[in-house]
Amino acid sequence: MNYPRLSFISICTFAVFMLGFQLKPALFEIPKTWDIAAIKQFLLPLPDGTTQVTPISESYYYSLPEMKVFKSYPIRLAGMEANRKYIDSLMTLDPVDLFESEPRTEQDLVRLGEEVFSSPLILFDYSEEFFKALNESVKSAEIPVSKNTFPYYTYVIDEKSKVKVGIFSCAMCHTRVMPDGSTIKGAQGNFPMDRMDGIDAETYAKSLPKEKLKEFDDGMRTGRKRLHGAPWVNHFSQTELDTISAAKIIAYLKAIPPGVMIRHGANYNQPASIPDLIGIKGRKYLDRTGLMMHRNIGDMMRYAAFNQTLDMLNSYNDFIPAGIDFKALTEPGKGEFVGTDKRYSEIQLFALGKYLYALKPPKNPNPSSPDIVKKGKLVFEREGCATCHTPPLYTNNKLTPVDGFNPPASHHDLYDILGMSVGTDPKLSLYTRRSTGYYKVPSLLGVWYRGPFGHSGHVATLEDWLDKRRLDDDYVPTGFKPAFSKTMAVKGHEFGLEITKEEKAALIAFLKSL
């Protein structure tokens, strides 16, 4: 981008820029992403009341190199000869830096935001070995693919005559492949990344000589402590991170079904259901635990920046997950953990926010008769579901405290709190870095294309969620079942469990119509 030469009277503006502020395109009012005052209000505190969360400073953040967003291309799961021809055709293309020209309209922003959504954090050179391994993983990890396309990764041309594979984008976790092979961007994704990682790690471990196994164990343990460690928490899921073996990590990973993730800041037995981003503009809290407030597009930009993994650079009472020996920040741009060595530009994050705000649900294919849906709506209203899942958003946008947490008096002035717990498993919101002591009340819009359900995805379908048997200790969860567990009660949220079979069918038909 060509900016006019700075004159004497613009020296102050230049000084501000050097301190980390970006010049803004004149056509748009772009919020400042890393505004520490706004971040302090935007982040909910940890529930223990003693652990302070300190994000990186503005100067550190704006010292990180900006990412470039290049045009990407789909990965086709064709035969080897057809794939060679496709790769050869890509090698003839020039790199396209999508933000080289400034967007001029709202439509430009949304279009570019979709490109940011698909833009990967990691690039590596394409090889036929990668292509063969990917096809094998699709089979071994039972990865849903879309009409012979692998929609979770991309090919990227960032230099002439080179094809690279791009991984770790927003789209990787927020793309859902439906049974008919269609895809829904922004939905609760169903790429089984943890399961795939577990299978790949298991295969790799089997190839190692015995003298290398300890090194493999140590590396897996350190990496997972970075991802999941919260040393201020006195709970087995945290204390085991100091001694856990690679074999146990692999078992935990392989237990995670599509739609659920042991995301950074969560833990093996406290994974999180991947959120649906469609309709996110109307939600007041982000994350299952309501970890971050959502007041405007600036907060959306901050959320994206943090979950790029820059929250791995937070200091939790001097524990820095991606820090040197967990204690010190690296020089800006030298971070070794994925996503911690660079940042999106302000215009890229702004465009991403505009795209997320513009996401619309696909056409609902459910064929239930209007009479059944109407009966289900009456059941929904009679059972009091609308108290928490209030139309038209089908959420009251409040936080509900988990069992074992009593909100401080000050929270009632700061946050929208429902004065009751629904009794669901509290561990994700008490024993992880994403803990707040709360769960947010989720929206029911779009449940027809979502699943599994619950904060940690314990049940696969709405039918299972409304099955009273899930409360029993001998219940076998149909969604996420912790490794080494044969049965497990899925407690809490007992609403709608005492209705008749016909009422249940009608209620589900209504919910699937939303």
Report whether pLDDT(117) > 60: yes
Does the pLDDT at position 26 exceed 90?
no
CA torsion, points 257, 284, 238, 492, in degrees to nearest 10? Answer: -70
* Token pair recorded at residue 10: 């613009």
How does pLDDT run across 456-467, given as a tens digit for each residue? 999 999 999 999
The tokens of 462 are what?
A: 């709405």
> Average pLDDT in the 11-36 region?
60
**Bridging pattern class, strands 122-125 and 315-316:** unpaired
Of residues 16 and 495, more confidence is placed in: 495
| For residue 330, pLDDT beyond 80 | yes
> Is the peptide bond prior to 452 cis by the omega test (within 30 degrees of 0)?
yes
pLDDT digits (tens, 9 = 90+) for 220-247: 999 999 999 999 999 999 999 999 999 9
Q: Is residue 342 over pLDDT 50? A: yes
Separation between Cα atoms, residue 450 and residue 446, nearest integer Å: 7
pLDDT tens for 169-185 read 999 999 999 999 999 99
pLDDT range class, residue 15, cuts 50, 70, 90: very low
Amino acid 355: pLDDT: 98
Model confidence at 11: pLDDT above 50: no
Question: Rounded to whole angstroms, what are the CA distances from 369 to 306, 372, 373, 376?
Answer: 44, 5, 6, 11
Q: Tell me the C-alpha distance between 43 and 156, whole Å.
A: 34
Q: How many CB atoms lie within 10 A of CB 474?
A: 9
Label residue 253 by pLDDT band (50, 70, 90): very high
455: nearest Cα among 495, 493, 428: 428
Q: Decide: 452 and 400 in contact? Cβ < 8 Å.
A: no
pTM of the model: 0.91
> What's the whole-number mean pLDDT along residues 309-317?
96
Asked if residue 51 has pLDDT above 50, the reply is yes
Q: What is the pLDDT of residue 28?
A: 85
Give the three-class secondary structure for 41.
helix
What mean pLDDT, rounded, does the chain reach?
92
Whether 8 has a pLDDT exceeding 80, the answer reads: no
Residue 89 in this model has a pLDDT that exceeds 60 = yes
Count other Cβ atoms within 10 Å, centred on residue 97.
Answer: 11
The helix (H) or strand (E) run that includes residue 303 is helix 297-307
pLDDT of residue 19: 38
Those residues with Cβ within 8 angstroms of residue 260's Cβ, 6 or more apart along the chain or in another chain: 194, 271, 272, 273, 274, 452, 456, 457, 479, 480
Question: What φ, ψ does residue 357 adopt, rounded to 5°?
Answer: -65, -25
Q: What is the C-alpha to C-alpha distance for residues 418 and 422, in angstroms, rounded to an integer?
A: 10
Residues 6+ apart with CB under 8 A from 23: 3, 13, 17
If pLDDT is split at 50, 70 and 90, which confidence band does 14 have? very low
Q: What is the pLDDT of residues 120-154, one digit of tens each?
A: 999 999 999 999 999 999 999 999 999 889 999 99
* pLDDT of res. 20: 38
Exposure string for 177-190, b = 16+ CB within 10 A, e = fewer: beeeeebbbbbbbb
CB 395 within 8 Å of CB 239: no
